[in-house]
Each structure stands twice: as C-alpha cells, then as structure tokens.
Amino acid sequence: MIHKHTLIEATMAGAAVMKEYFDKQYTISSKSSLNDLVTEVDHKSEEAIFNVIKKHFPSHNILSEESGPVIQESHYKWIIDPIDGTINYANGIPICCVSIGLERNGVMEMGAVYNPFLGEFFFAQRGFGATLNEKKLHVSDTTDLKKSCLVTGFPYTYLDAPNGPIQVFEKLVRKGIPVRRLGSAAIDLCWVAAGRFDGFYEHKLQAWDSAAGFLIVLEAGGKVTDFAGKEYNHYQPGIIATNGKIHDSLYKLVNGGEVE
C-alpha cells in the first residue's frame, strides 16, 4: 500500500508545480529539435516528484524524461514524465499531465496519470482494475473501426516513411474515420481506457510516455500490443491500444492494410 500512497503523493507533487507556473513566465528551450521542448517547469515538476520518491524509497531505480536513468540495486523502477504534453503546457493549452508508472522486475505494476487542469486522476494497479477519480473505468463497446473515434500523435522524425504516421493518418481520414491529435500520449491512453476514444496508435513513444497509460488501458479491459501484434513492452516504440473489439482492424491498417 505504501507504493500506492507514494505514487499518488509524487503525482500530486508534480501536478502542483504545473498548476503553480501555468500561464506564468518561465524559461523554454529546445532539445533534439526545434519543437521538442523542455521548460523550467518540467525540471521543477521532476524535482518535486523525485523528492517524494526518494523520501520513501531512496534505493529504487528511476527513469525520467528529463534526467534519464538513476540506476541502483532494486527490483523497482519509477518511470516518470513530469509533464506529458509540454508543447501544450508551454502554449497554455490545458491538455497535459503528470505520468508515473511503477515497474517491478520489468513488469508494470501501477500507473497514475493526472491532469490537474481538468481535475482527472487516472490510476491502475495490475489485477485491480482502473479508475478515474476513484470511479471504475471500462473501455468502449464499439466493434466497427469505421464507426470508431481514434487518437494518435506524430513524431518529429520519419513522417514520410512507408506506411508511416502521415500515410496511416491519411488512410483513416479518407475513409471518414475521425482521428484526433491531443499532444499527450498519456492522456490519449487514459481516454481510451475511459471509452472516450476507441483506439490509439503511435509510431514512436518513449517508456515514460506510455508506462502508466498502457496499464490503465489494460486494466480497463482494453488491449495493447506493439506494431507486430505482440504483447506491448513500453521500451519499444510502436503502440496500438484499443477497446479490444477494433484491435485487429486497426492493427491491420497501421501495418499497410485497408479499412474494410
């Protein structure tokens, strides 16, 4: 139980920093490319999260977007995105969140995603289901891909690769299938878990983008695989997360097939 309390405390600590600085002046810089941003608030949120985790579990491993890995002799690893949706945050768009997953021996055991601006706290523990503000979550019942509402994200690289993000997106849109782009993979996944979207796919994510969210989808009754159709591992890039009922159709489409 202490792991859960620590996860919630750490998530809230990061979110408090996000709220404190929202719509205020702070430094913004680029990382790998012009629009791959990091802000002063990302670092402050990360520091607040680290302080909580290290207070309770100083020997645990940590993997965080801004600081990278902190490797120690432990079966546990905290996987942290201090602000998922940094571009949204930097532009005053309140679709962003703190995302933290807790892994034990390579298996994701708990995940929390909190958007303090919408007041939505998503949580899942392996084998115990998923919740939104302590109310049980379940994925949608949509069975037809053509009648589904999807969400995706675009990486900053290989947009024009064969069967890449643009090609898949175009194929869906030309079939009249609505596809949204929110700018936060963690929120995308949670909204699949909540039944707001029927499916999510993205060609390139990092572990901190999906560690909490993919478990929340699974525990809400959904299905999550990689682009090869195998059980999803948050250390590889491609992800398909759905309500399970449209999974095969979406999997086929992102691998070069057509909408039937």
Intra-chain end-to-end CA distance of the chain, in Å: 46
88-121 pLDDT, tens per residue? 998 999 999 999 999 999 999 999 999 999 999 9
Residues 204-208, mean pLDDT to the nearest whole number: 93
| Position with higher pLDDT, 229 vs 41 | 229
> H/E element holding 180?
strand 179-180
How much is the pLDDT for 154? 86
- Bridge-partner residues for 32, per DSSP? none
* 252 CB-contact burial (10 Å; exposed 0-12 / middle 13-18 / buried 19+): middle
Q: For residues 100 and 11, what is the distance between their CA atoms, to the nearest angstrom? A: 7
List the alpha helices (DSSP H) in 68-156: 86-90
SS3 132: strand
CA distance 5 to 243: 29
Percent of all residues in the chain with a pLDDT value above 70, rounded to a whole number: 93
Q: Is the pLDDT of residue 59 over 80?
A: yes
**Whole-number mean pLDDT of the chain?**
92
pLDDT of residue 259 exceeding 80:
no
| Model confidence pLDDT, tens digit, residues 60-78 | 999 998 777 788 889 999 9
Q: What does the alpha-carbon distance between residue 145 and residue 76 come to, in Å, rounded to a whole number? A: 38
State yes or no: pLDDT of 85 exceeds 90.
Answer: yes
What three-state secondary structure class fits 125?
strand
Instruction: Report the pLDDT value the prediction gives residue 31, as an integer from 0 to 100.
Output: 57
**Which is it for strands 61-64 and 68-70: parallel, antiparallel or unpaired?**
antiparallel
Domains for the chain: give ranges and CATH numbers: 2-136 (3.30.540.10), 145-254 (3.40.190.80)
pLDDT at 243: 98
Work out the average pLDDT over 171-184.
95
Q: What is the pLDDT of residue 159?
A: 66
Instruction: With cut-offs at 50, 70 and 90, classify the pLDDT of residue 23.
Output: confident
| Average pLDDT score over residue span 12-39 | 76
- Cα(129)–Cα(180) distance, rounded to whole angstroms? 26
- pTM, two decimals, is 0.94
- Rounded average pLDDT over 210-229: 97
Q: Which amino acid is at 101?
A: G
Q: Is a pLDDT exceeding 60 seen at residue 123? A: yes
What interhelical angle do 2-21 and 40-56 show, nearest 10? Answer: 160
Tell me the mean pLDDT in the region 179-202: 97
Q: Which of 65, 44, 49, 66 is nearest to 10 (CA)?
A: 49
